[in-house]
């Protein structure tokens, strides 16, 4: 049990080569974090994920000092050809862009610029105060990636009671396209917290597809805040298959900043064995004719907890906004919990906004139908679960990647 967790500003003093401006920004954020501490259920955005309580019941102590770990190479995915980046405990380790024109891609370690906004999420403040690791990726204009980029997000086996804060930036310039799979490989035998911040910038006519998946079940506690800035006619798709860790919260804020920007957020999660998974979104329609689409599917088994908090904000000038949001949960046992909080805040008068949320158990009539064809209850249930998650998987157009994701989902469902 951790009492009054506070970060000492000495830690910021130890960060080398920083400007006074950066130091002040970090100290300001440190103060903001220390005022609240770990976010708790009395904060509206954390009402369903009492992180303070989760930390208290899973950690006896916590340490924010940065780590340097030995990294043993891991097996690359063999299912499809890809470029890759290795992140080790959030730190940029190496990259390989053999399928691409290398002069079109810039990859550097952690971007020190501090043009970040203050944020009321205490974990973002903590990140702003302490993050030293991460990567910055920029794709030159008029360049379409030929192969997918896999980001191997590896955590080593020696991360006992650590909080790792890392910060990434992805910028896709005009008329360019990038497809990323962030593949988290947690080899840690111990519990740790990864608190990441990501800034995604899509310039005019650019496209980014970002898919999240965990290699396997693990004891990690992951929080990631993603800030997206989408410019004219840009197109962002986020596919979330991040079931697996003990705790996972993605907090996605998407600013549709110029006309015809599009944002799709889809998730298909099979949550099992006490997993806690939250997706929180805020889609800001800030200009006219932008489109957002959210489809969140959760299957919950065995004491797991799923949360979707989705807000759509439409500014007064954002006429002809088209925003859609749907959350569906399939509850397999009585021991699970699913919370959904859709919110619309609309100041324009010519918009199309819809949202829906349902949760229910497996349909006995459908089960009976499948069983009359010779399938046992377990296989019929699995088939219905896969069917339930299928419409999100269908968004993956590349057959080998789709097959890879389907196999991962099957593994999760079969462990059931």
70 belongs to the binding site for other proteins (CB under 8 A): no
Among 322, 384, 395, 402, binds other proteins (CB under 8 A): 384
377 belongs to the binding site for other proteins (CB under 8 A): yes
Judged by CB under 8 A, which stretch of 175-183, 221-229, 341-349, 375-383 contacts other proteins? 375-383
Judged by CB under 8 A, which stretch of 194-202, 212-220, 284-292, 366-374 contacts other proteins? 366-374
364 belongs to the binding site for other proteins (CB under 8 A): yes
Q: From CA 400, how far away is CA 409, in angstroms rounded?
A: 14
Torsion-angle region of 366 (φ positive above 0: left; ψ -120 to 50: alpha; else: beta):
alpha
371 belongs to the binding site for other proteins (CB under 8 A): yes
The per-residue DSSP string of 48-96 comes to T--HHHHHHHH-S--B-----------PPP-SS-EEEEEEETTEEEEEE
388 belongs to the binding site for other proteins (CB under 8 A): yes
How many residues lie near other proteins (CB under 8 A)?
Answer: 24
Among 35, 368, 414, 415, binds other proteins (CB under 8 A): 368
390 belongs to the binding site for other proteins (CB under 8 A): yes
Strands of the 82-88 sheet, one edge to the other: 91-96, 82-88, 148-155, 177-186, 207-214, 235-241, 262-271, 291-300, 322-331, 352-361
Among 348, 375, 395, 410, binds other proteins (CB under 8 A): 375
98 belongs to the binding site for other proteins (CB under 8 A): no
CB of 370 to other proteins, least distance (A): 7
CB of 100 to other proteins, least distance (A): 35
Note whether 166 and 129 are within 8 A (CB): no
Q: From CA 295, how far away is CA 311, in angstroms rounded?
A: 13
Q: Segment 336-355, which members bind other proteins (CB under 8 A)?
A: none
Among 57, 369, 407, 414, binds other proteins (CB under 8 A): 369
CB of 372 to other proteins, least distance (A): 5
The per-residue DSSP string of 368-392 comes to HHHHTTT--HHHHHHHHHHHHHHHH
Among 389, 396, 409, 413, binds other proteins (CB under 8 A): 389
Among 161, 366, 400, 416, binds other proteins (CB under 8 A): 366
387 belongs to the binding site for other proteins (CB under 8 A): yes
User: 207-244 b/e with 16+ CB inside 10 Å = b?
Assistant: bbbbbbbbbebbebbbbbbbbbbbbbbbbbbbbbbbbb
Note whether 405 and 268 are within 8 A (CB): no
Question: Which residues contact other proteins (rule: CB under 8 A)?
Answer: 363-366, 368-377, 379-380, 383-384, 386-391
């Amino acid at each position: 049990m951790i009492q009054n967790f506070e970060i000492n500003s000495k830690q910021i003093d130890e960060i080398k080569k920083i400007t006074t401006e950066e130091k002040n920004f970090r100290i300001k954020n440190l103060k903001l974090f220390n005022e609240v501490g770990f976010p708790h259920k009395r904060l509206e955005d954390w009402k369903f994920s009492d992180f303070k309580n989760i930390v208290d019941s899973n950690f006896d102590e916590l340490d924010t000092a940065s780590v340097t770990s030995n990294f043993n190479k891991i097996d690359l995915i063999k299912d499809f050809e890809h470029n890759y980046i290795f992140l080790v405990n959030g730190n940029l380790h190496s990259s390989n862009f053999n399928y691409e024109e290398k002069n079109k891609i810039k990859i550097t370690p952690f971007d020190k610029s501090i043009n970040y906004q203050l944020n009321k999420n205490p974990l973002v403040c903590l990140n702003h105060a302490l993050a030293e690791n991460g990567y910055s990726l920029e794709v030159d204009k008029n360049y379409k990636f030929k192969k997918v980029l896999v980001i191997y997000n590896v955590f080593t086996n020696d991360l006992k009671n650590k909080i790792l804060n890392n910060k990434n930036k992805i910028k896709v310039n005009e008329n360019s396209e990038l497809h990323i799979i962030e593949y988290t490989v947690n080899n840690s035998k111990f519990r740790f917290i990864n608190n990441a911040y990501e800034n995604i910038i899509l310039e005019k006519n650019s496209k980014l597809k970002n898919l999240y998946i965990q290699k396997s079940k693990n004891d990690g506690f992951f929080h990631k805040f993603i800030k997206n800035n989408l410019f004219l006619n840009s197109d962002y798709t986020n596919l979330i298959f991040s079931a697996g860790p003990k705790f996972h919260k993605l907090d996605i804020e998407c600013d549709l900043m110029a006309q015809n920007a599009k944002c799709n957020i889809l998730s298909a999660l099979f949550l099992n064995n006490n997993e806690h998974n939250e997706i929180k979104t805020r889609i800001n329609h800030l200009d006219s004719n932008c489109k957002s689409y959210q489809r969140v599917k959760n299957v919950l088994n065995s004491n797991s907890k799923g949360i979707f908090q989705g807000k759509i904000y439409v500014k007064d000038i954002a006429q002809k906004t088209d925003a859609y949001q749907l959350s569906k949960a399939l509850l397999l046992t009585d021991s699970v919990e699913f919370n959904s909080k859709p919110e619309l805040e609309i100041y324009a008068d010519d918009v199309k906004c819809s949202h829906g949320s349902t949760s229910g158990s497996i349909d006995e009539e459908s089960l009976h139908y499948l069983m009359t064809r010779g399938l046992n209850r377990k296989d019929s249930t699995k088939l219905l679960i896969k069917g339930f998650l299928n419409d999100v998987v269908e968004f993956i157009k590349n057959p080998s990647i789709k097959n890879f994701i389907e196999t991962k989902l099957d593994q999760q469902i079969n462990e059931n």
